[in-house]
Chains A and B, each alone.
Chain A
Amino acid sequence: DIVLTQSPKSLAVSLGERATIHCKSSQNILYSSNNKNYLAWYQQKPGQPPKLLIYWASTRESGVPDRFSGSGSESDFTLTISSLQAEDVATYYCQQHYNPPLTFGGGTKVELK
């Protein structure tokens, strides 16, 4: 199984500051034939289901604010919130769909400093 390791487990960021979350895959999830990274990012608030933010590692889902961006390739990925807003307080998960079983990172909790 592909293991996704997120870091840090939690971080506290001031309003308007940058938040950076890392996701490291135990194997390369870049598919060479289409040059796509099989990684997505989700935001989950308490009592709610996850919400899709990013797919193909860097493509923003429709309606997601442009302060959210994804980057990285092969086995190292980053989710960046460029200017944290109060409504961004949540837990963030990465997910790979390169190979079954689908797996998720352990989550990163973002709080206000």
Chain B
Amino acid sequence: QVQLVQSGAEVKKPGASVKVSCEASGFTLTDHYIHWVRQAPGQGLEWLGWINPKNGGTNYAQHFQGRVTLTRDTPTNTVYLDLTGLKAEDTAVYYCARLPRDYVRLGWFDLWGQGTLVAVSS
């Protein structure tokens, strides 16, 4: 079954870091750019950045520069989102999403993970 499977919900304190995983199943991870998008409760969608799993190349939204790091582990078909310096405003569902095969950097998302809730609270 073709899917992206994300890790479970996290509760963190302000200032902490979180690492969310996204495992590709049923397809070759290195054939697709993977992006991360978040959605605060009751709000719209906000793009964080992308990773090229083939070579590890990344690009981040300016708003998150310095706080977000995307990495990949190709033997396990998994990409990771690291977000540091968490604030209450980072409380959101974080999604990984796939570009169609052979599309580079930007595009539309034809497959999404189920989402991971990250709650930041003291």
Known contacts A55-B108, A97-B107: A49-B44 contact under CB 8 Å:
no
Q: Is B27 an interface residue (CB 8 A)?
A: no
- Docked-complex contact A40 and B108, CB < 8 angstroms: yes
Q: Are A106 and B47 in contact, CB atoms less than 8 angstroms apart?
A: no
A49-B95, A100-B59, A101-B62 given as contacts; is B44 within 8 A of A93 (CB)? yes
Are B44 and A104 interface neighbours, CB within 8 A? yes
Taken together as a complex, chains A and B put the C-alpha atoms of A97 and B109 apart, in Å, by 10
In the complex, A72 has a CB within 8 A of chain B: no
Residues of B within 8 A of A61 (CB): 110
Name the distance in Å between B21's Cβ and chain A's nearest Cβ: 16
- Taking the closest CB of chain A, its distance from the CB of B15, in whole angstroms, is 26
Does B35 reach chain A (CB closer than 8 Å)?
yes
In residues 54-109 of chain B, which contact A (Cβ within 8 Å)?
59, 61-63, 95, 97, 105-109
Could you say which residues of chain A place their CB within 8 Å of the CB of B44? 93, 104-107
**Residue among B59, B97, B108, B115 facing the most chain A CB atoms (10 A cut-off):** B108
Some 20 contacts from A to B, beta carbons below 8 A apart, are: A42-B109, A49-B97, A49-B115, A50-B112, A51-B112, A52-B108, A52-B109, A93-B44, A95-B45, A95-B109, A97-B106, A97-B107, A99-B106, A100-B106, A101-B61, A101-B62, A101-B63, A104-B46, A106-B44, A107-B44
User: Beyond A100-B59, A102-B47: 13 further Cβ-contacts under 8 Å?
Assistant: A38-B106, A40-B108, A40-B109, A50-B109, A50-B112, A51-B112, A93-B45, A100-B61, A100-B105, A101-B47, A104-B44, A106-B44, A107-B44
